[in-house]
Amino acid sequence: MSDEKEHLNKLHQIVKNSIEAEELIIQNLLHPPIETLSKGQQISDTVATFGGSWRFIIIFGIILTLWIVFNIVAVGVFKFDPYPFILMNLILSTIAALQARLGVCTRKWIYC
């Protein structure tokens, strides 16, 4: 009889703990905790949000087009990056590497 009572008490405690845990989950869902982000995380989020936006893609496309047109049309010493645009390729590779890392480090991803 004593074993049954002890077993029932353990079951009651398990049920009570489960209900308390469920209430905590419900409270967190209804009122999500406010995240405190470091300055670096905030900057990373801002840069990643802008770097993945259509605004960035359009502005960057215009800049690249102007770069190419200028270096094709320019004469003599004004051609700072003649065809095959090696400086432009270096800059694009650097931006791609930085954006990839920032994309992974944003708080929206769990990897960092």
Please indicate, yes or no, whether the overall pTM of this predicted structure exceeds 0.75.
Answer: no
Residue 68 has what pLDDT?
93
Contacts of 37 (CB under 8 A, 6+ apart): 45, 107
Taken as a whole, the chain contains a residue count of 112
pLDDT at 111 over 60: no
Reported as a pLDDT band with limits 50, 70 and 90, residue 110 is very low
The highest-confidence range among 16-20, 25-29, 70-74, by mean pLDDT, is: 70-74
Q: Higher pLDDT residue, 14 or 41?
A: 14
Q: Higher pLDDT residue, 51 or 37?
A: 51
For residue range 47-94, list pLDDT tens digits in order.
777 877 889 889 999 999 999 999 999 988 888 988 899 999 999 999
Return the exposure string of 92-106: e unless at least 16 CB atoms fall within 10 Å of the residue's CB, then b: eeeeeeeeeebbebb
